[in-house]
Amino acid sequence: MMQKILRIMAVSAVFWVGSVSADPGCQNAEVIGGKLITDICWSCIFPIKVAGVPISGGGGSFPSEAVSNPLCMCEDNLGVPRPGVTTSMWEPARLVEFQRVPGCSSVLNGVRFPFDRTNQGHHGMGDMDGGDGSFMHYHYYAFPLLVMLDLFIKQTSNADGYMDLDIMYMSELDPTWNNDELAFFTNPEAAAVANPIAAAACTADAVSSTAGKPLKQLFWCAGSWGTLYPFSGNQNGGKGVIRDSSLLSTRVLAALHRRGLAWKTMGSEAMCRGVISPTLPKTQYKFTLLHPVPETNSSHVIGESTLTWGLARTIPAIGQDPIYTIWRWNDCCNN
Q: Give the model confidence (pLDDT) of 28-66 as tens digits.
A: 999 998 899 999 999 999 999 999 888 876 567 889 899
- Model confidence over 290-323: pLDDT tens digits? 999 999 999 999 999 999 999 999 998 888 899 9
Amino acid code (one letter) for 209 = S
Share of the chain above pLDDT 70, in %: 89
- Bridge-partner residues for 166, per DSSP? 142
What dihedral do alpha carbons 94, 98, 103, 106 form, nearest 10°?
Answer: -70
The Cα–Cα gap between 5 and 318 comes to 41
pLDDT at residue 170 in the model: 97
pTM over 0.85: yes
- Do the beta carbons of residue 313 and residue 289 sit within 8 Å? yes
The Cα–Cα gap between 48 and 54 comes to 6
- Do the beta carbons of residue 176 and residue 136 sit within 8 Å? no
pLDDT at residue 130 in the model: 52
The Cα–Cα gap between 277 and 262 comes to 8
- Model confidence over 157-200: pLDDT tens digits? 888 889 999 999 999 999 999 999 999 998 988 999 988 999 99
- Model confidence over 224-256: pLDDT tens digits? 999 999 999 998 866 789 999 999 999 999 999
The Cα–Cα gap between 9 and 1 comes to 13
The Cα–Cα gap between 227 and 233 comes to 13
Report the Cα 110 to chain-centroid distance in Å.
Answer: 20
What dihedral do alpha carbons 270, 276, 278, 281 form, nearest 10°?
Answer: 30
The conformation of residue 230, written as its DSSP 8-state character, comes to S
pLDDT, mean over the chain = 87
- Do the beta carbons of residue 311 and residue 48 sit within 8 Å? no
pLDDT at residue 127 in the model: 54
